[in-house]
């Protein structure tokens, strides 16, 4: 795609992010650079995949509001900084490096699969806690607090699958796309979303609130320090996101 058009599209998306206050200035700058790289190397379909992912995540967050974390168990709040942008888009952007070097079209779909995982995970985490039915741990099937990483629900799972399918449809804009490739993008993206939940259950750090006794992802809850009780201390939700992105990268590259 023409560089000036890439510059215009990336700047417009970055300006929208600043206007909606969905990113910090540092996060916006990094997102702008990544968007410029992605749109220049991947063309209009790659830009659309990124833009639709961003807009749907913003819309889902607005619609769900505080209901996506009813017990305030998550650590992440407020605008996305550069680290969070990197954890959610960095691996996808790196997938276009082999494409730029060798013009191997497979990596266009690897990029799409990683973005499918990111959108699937975001929609699942926003929609899942809205369900009237139980949220259960993906590994133990025990009932847990809505919004806690590692939890799955029917609504959240279906929302994640929908997100992966949306990106699969958009990837058909790439010149060598086939129905089989699109289905592979959807399935590998959704598999990455499930893997994200497994990591969230098994290795992500969890804390026990000494006031209410609730399992949370933040080191402060109910106005007091919470005690680490599960997972690996340095594995936060951001680390889980980048690990699941990398898993999806490898899985998509192998299957495609």
Instruction: Look at 5-19, 53-67, 111-125, 197-211 and tell me which has the smallest mean pLDDT.
Output: 53-67
The whole-number average pLDDT for the span 51-68 is 90
Specify the higher pLDDT residue, 108 or 21: 108
Q: How confident is the model over 13-27, as a mean pLDDT?
A: 93
Above pLDDT 70, what percent of the chain? 99
DSSP string, 142-201: -B--TT-TTEE-HHHHHHHHHHHHHHHHHGGGSTT--HHHHHHHHHHHHHHHHHHHHHHH
Average pLDDT value over all residues in the chain: 93
Q: In the predicted model, what is the mean pLDDT of residues 222-249?
A: 93
DSSP 135: P
Q: In which band, very low, low, confident or very high, does the pLDDT at 71 lie, cut at 50, 70 and 90?
A: confident
Instruction: Residue 135: name the closest of 104, 156, 109 by CA.
Output: 156
Mean local confidence (pLDDT), 64-70: 81
Comparing CA positions, the residue from 65, 129, 126, 117 lying closest to residue 91 is 117
Q: Quick check: 110 and 253 in contact, CB under 8 A?
A: yes
- The answer on pLDDT for 79 being more than 90 is no
Q: Is a pLDDT exceeding 70 seen at residue 76?
A: no
**143-158: average pLDDT:** 93
The 8 Å CB, 24+ separation contacts for 50-55 are 50/13, 50/89, 50/92, 50/115, 51/9, 51/13, 52/119, 52/166, 52/167, 52/170, 53/115, 53/118, 53/119, 53/122, 53/167, 54/13, 54/17
Which whole number is the average pLDDT over 148-175? 96
The residue extents of the domains of the chain are 3-65+74-255
């Amino acid at each position: 795609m023409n560089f000036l058009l890439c510059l215009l599209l990336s700047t417009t998306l970055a300006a929208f992010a600043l206007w909606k206050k969905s990113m910090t200035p540092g996060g916006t700058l990094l997102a702008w650079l990544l968007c410029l790289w992605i749109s220049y190397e991947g063309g209009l379909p790659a830009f659309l995949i990124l833009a639709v992912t961003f807009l749907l995540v913003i819309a889902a967050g607005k619609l769900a509001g505080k209901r996506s974390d009813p017990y305030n168990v998550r650590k992440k709040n407020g605008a996305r900084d550069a680290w969070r942008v990197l954890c959610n888009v960095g691996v996808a952007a790196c997938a276009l490096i082999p494409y730029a070097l060798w013009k191997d079209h497979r990596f266009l779909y690897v990029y799409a699969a990683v973005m499918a995982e990111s959108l699937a995970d975001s929609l699942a985490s926003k929609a899942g806690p809205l369900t009237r039915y139980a949220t259960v741990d993906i590994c133990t099937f025990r009932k847990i607090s809505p919004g806690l990483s590692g939890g799955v629900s029917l609504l959240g799972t279906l929302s994640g699958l929908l997100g992966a399918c949306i990106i699969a449809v958009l990837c058909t804009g790439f010149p060598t796309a086939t129905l089989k490739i699109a289905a592979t993008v959807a399935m590998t993206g959704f598999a990455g979303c499930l893997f994200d939940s497994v990591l969230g259950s098994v290795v992500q750090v969890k804390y026990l609130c000494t006031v209410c006794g609730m399992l949370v992802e933040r080191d402060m809850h109910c106005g007091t320090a919470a005690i680490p009780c599960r997972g690996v201390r340095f594995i936060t939700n951001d680390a889980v996101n980048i690990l699941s992105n990398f898993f999806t990268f490898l899985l998509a590259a192998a299957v495609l």
